[in-house]
Structure 1
């Protein structure tokens, strides 16, 4: 059956089957996730409206909450959760695509590994990259989730994880939802505590990265380590 004879809600799926996934526009991909529109708009029109509201940015769309999405007519809790879940899958896939034992040569290498996890969050999270003595990544993990202004890490858990993976170096990172790149007094204090604990265990703290939506701050680059 030709696409033009199909109901509007079915056309993106038919196009997918006939021409492949790469032929779909962003609004058509979102339309497939949503499944249907509302009584005034077909699914593609509704998808286009949602994307237009975030300047056609998947990144900005990922910042919307369930309540934000439900403000659009035709988006109930089930559709909202489906949209957010699809974006989260893409985010996790990015992490899994990090080549095994990537070598960290500078702060930007570390930032590229963690930016997709930390750049679009509304609350703070604390992550760590664990490295061997050749500065190759052997493990990446989230250690804590916090509030809007801070995420406190347990130094014991950090180094327990490092020891479990036989790590000789670590890079710690957290995000600032406010967009500020300036380290807080708490950031500086916890960095010093982690560095001192690492010295006792012969595990070197190589850097502390603060991540915002589109850039980062490196303690190492700034001479704070």
Structure 2
């Protein structure tokens, strides 16, 4: 009786049952029926000679703590370090992550009312999520608290960013804003304001009053939550 010979080479996608292949599975069950690894595999498109595209996707996710938030922080260059991921595939992954961020807070119309710290936080999610350095942003509002424009003022290091008050208030005047909301992120994930954060807020608030402009809030942003100076009564 002939012995069966088992190969150590992994099965390729075309050797799988049709219902197990990510693309076919998506067409049959919809995107919600796929795992994170399978969705990533569809983006990647193909594996290598020694590893299937799903196994490659699982390896990439595992290397990022099985966290999509961590994966979203990876640059094209970082993704290209994985064997089987070239520049084109890395660009596809980065673009997919960016589209996800933008979709999260896309306004349903052009007039966005910002009348709470939570709305300000959600509005800034596409801009401040997954940042490895501090960035300082401002939301310029009209008299009815509708958004005129959101603008990045500066980008700095891991624990600090410099704010040019002259630039900030020139933008306020140029856009005829009557109120504004300050915001910056803490890459560390700690929402507690530093002494520098508190002093800067007071300084900008006092300068704004000279121009008859109101600082409504200062939001300290992290990927999971936020701190509002206004909500905490220290503005």
Q: Same fold (TM over 0.5)?
A: yes
Deviation at 1:36, TM superposition (A): 1.7
For structure 1, the 5+ residue unaligned runs are none
Residue of structure 2 in register with 1:176 after alignment: 186
Give the secondary structure class of the aligned counterpart of 1:190: helix
- Kept in 2, the 8 Å contact 1:131–1:137? The answer is yes
- Kept in 2, the 8 Å contact 1:111–1:216? The answer is yes
Determine the C-alpha separation between the residues in 1 that align with 2:229 and 2:63.
Answer: 36
Equivalences for residues 125-204 of structure 1 within 5 A: 125-204=135-214
- Kept in 2, the 8 Å contact 1:206–1:220? The answer is yes
Give the secondary structure class of the aligned counterpart of 1:207: strand
Give the secondary structure class of the aligned counterpart of 1:186: helix
- Kept in 1, the 8 Å contact 2:101–2:125? The answer is no
Alignment of 1:215 onto 2:216: no
**Higher mean C-alpha displacement, 38-47 vs 72-81:** 72-81
| RMSD of Structure 2 on Structure 1 (CA) | 2.7
User: Do the aligned partners of residues 169 and 7 (structure 1) sit closer, same or farther apart at CA in structure 2, a change above 3 Å counting?
Assistant: farther
TM-score (norm 2): 0.80
Deviation at 1:66, TM superposition (A): 3.9
- Kept in 1, the 8 Å contact 2:105–2:125? The answer is no
Aligned counterpart for 2:79 among listed residues 64, 69, 72: 69
- Kept in 2, the 8 Å contact 1:100–1:138? The answer is no
Determine the C-alpha separation between the residues in 2 that align with 1:99 and 1:169.
Answer: 21
Residue of structure 2 in register with 1:34 after alignment: 44
User: Do the aligned partners of residues 34 and 175 (structure 1) sit closer, same or farther apart at CA in structure 2, a change above 3 Å counting?
Assistant: same
TM-score (norm 1): 0.83
User: Do the aligned partners of residues 22 and 36 (structure 1) sit closer, same or farther apart at CA in structure 2, a change above 3 Å counting?
Assistant: same
- Kept in 1, the 8 Å contact 2:182–2:218? The answer is yes
- Kept in 2, the 8 Å contact 1:100–1:137? The answer is no
- Kept in 2, the 8 Å contact 1:128–1:141? The answer is yes
Deviation at 1:211, TM superposition (A): 0.9
Give the secondary structure class of the aligned counterpart of 2:227: strand
User: Do the aligned partners of residues 213 and 95 (structure 1) sit closer, same or farther apart at CA in structure 2, a change above 3 Å counting?
Assistant: closer
Q: How many pairs does the alignment contain?
A: 221
**Higher mean C-alpha displacement, 213-222 vs 19-28:** 19-28
